[in-house]
Amino acid sequence: MRTQKLIPEEQIRSAREAYENGTDFTLAVEEEFAVLDPETLSLANRFEELQAAAQGTPLEEHLVGELIASEVEVRTGRCESFAEAAAKVGERRAQLDELAGGLGIALAAVGTHPWSPWQDQRIIDTPHYRKNDELLRYVVWRNNTFGLHVHVGIRGADRAIAVCNGLRNYLPELLAVSASSPMVEAVCTYLHSARTEIFTRMFPRCGVPDAYDGWRGFEDYVRFLYATGSITEHTQMWWSVRTHLAFPTVEIRICDAQPNLEESRSLAALCYALTARIARALDEGEPLPNYPHRLIEENFWRAIRYGLSGELIDLTTGDVRPARAHLERLLEWVAPVAEELGAAQYLAVPTANSAERQLAQYEDGASLQEIYAGLVRRGAPVRG
């Protein structure tokens, strides 16, 4: 028997008010790390030990669980500038490394684990994840993936929706540069981002969203999901870019986790500068693309499969160009705003991103274990 679902009208109203009174271009960065046995480098269900050890330390309020007990997330918290965020990303990583080292835990930040079976990973015992487990079952069990998320503050509810709409068009470029996950389930998949294929192709309400007709169009969509019992909380909209109902931010969720601090900062800088550049374009009446979902999906698949090594389609002209050329053009477009906001020094087109480096090693004969060992953040001495 169908039961009427309560629509959280107060939350929707409060969210709109928060955006109307929000602050432009604050930001926060969230990074997810695999929790590893330091000797075997397999996933280890030890999140609760990290959480307990963080109690009473500066990391306590910035360390959270993320679905499975072999994963940990650290957050910068709200930052007023990119310089502050860049410093906090490094500080959080150092704090987590120290905490893990004291427990004999190793860490890694790439999009997937190369061999640990998803069947061996335990869902953490919180109301939120128990609910998602009951709702999604195999889909949530299978999601042993690790990403990097960037929240950017945007003032104005309709403006936040417009920024989110604009970011849809650039998700393939962000994914291509961030790709770090060619290895999973004990094979080389030859996908540059197996994480994205696992996550966005399995979860509902995930991947490239449709564009909304202002805040009212977004509200109508949220109400529809609640009224039909499709969601029970707003975080069950897992789109690769989304307006958040708990914070007045646009959240970019498409990126694979980054093994190195420099790559993490560079990726966060690109997400931040791109979001701000789109907001400025809207303010100044500069035309922005609004490509159909079906066309963005073509580039989305190319980014999953070939990453930065492949080609992307210019969806305006139909021309096909190297993904690196698309990224170079994007960096040129965001450069003035990046310079103004203190993010320009972190922007660069990498000679090779993590997926390319891993695949090159594999082609040279390295094993998955050897490749992954070079990506691990060793918080404790490792024998062998």
Would you say 280 and 337 are in contact if contact means Cβ atoms under 8 Å apart? yes
Q: What is the pLDDT of residue 1?
A: 31
Q: What is the pLDDT of residue 203?
A: 94
C-alpha pair distances (Å), 344 with each of 180, 226, 335, 341: 23, 41, 6, 8
Beta strands in 27-133 (DSSP E): 27-36, 63-66, 68-75, 106-108
Q: What is the pLDDT of residue 379?
A: 53
SS3 of the chain: helix, strand, coil, percent, to 5: 50, 15, 35
Would you say 47 and 72 are in contact if contact means Cβ atoms under 8 Å apart? yes
Q: What is the pLDDT of residue 221?
A: 96
Terminal Cα distance for the chain, rounded: 59
What are the pLDDT tens digits along the chain (384 aa)? Answer: 344 467 899 999 999 999 999 999 999 999 999 999 999 999 999 999 999 999 999 999 999 998 999 999 999 999 999 999 999 999 999 999 999 999 999 999 999 999 999 999 999 988 888 888 888 999 999 999 999 999 999 999 999 999 999 999 999 999 999 999 999 999 999 999 999 999 999 999 999 999 999 999 999 999 999 999 999 999 999 999 999 999 999 999 999 999 999 999 999 999 999 999 999 999 999 999 999 999 999 999 999 999 999 999 999 999 999 999 999 999 999 999 999 999 999 999 999 999 999 999 999 999 999 999 999 986 543 333
Q: Which of 178, 182, 180, 158 is nearest to 170 (CA)?
A: 178
Backbone phi, then psi, for 256, in 5-degree steps?
-65, 155
Q: What is the pLDDT of residue 148?
A: 98
Q: What is the pLDDT of residue 168?
A: 98
Would you say 205 and 222 are in contact if contact means Cβ atoms under 8 Å apart? no
Would you say 250 and 160 are in contact if contact means Cβ atoms under 8 Å apart? yes
Q: What is the pLDDT of residue 6?
A: 74
- Tally Cβ neighbours within 10 Å of residue 133: 16
Would you say 16 and 214 are in contact if contact means Cβ atoms under 8 Å apart? no
Q: What is the pLDDT of residue 5?
A: 64
Q: What is the pLDDT of residue 331?
A: 98
Q: What angle do CA 64, 88, 72 make, to 5 degrees?
A: 20
Residue ranges covered by each domain of the chain:
9-360
Q: What is the pLDDT of residue 2?
A: 47
CATH number for domain 9-360, candidates 3.30.1490.270, 3.30.590.20, 3.10.200.10, 3.40.50.2300: 3.30.590.20
Amino acid at 243: T
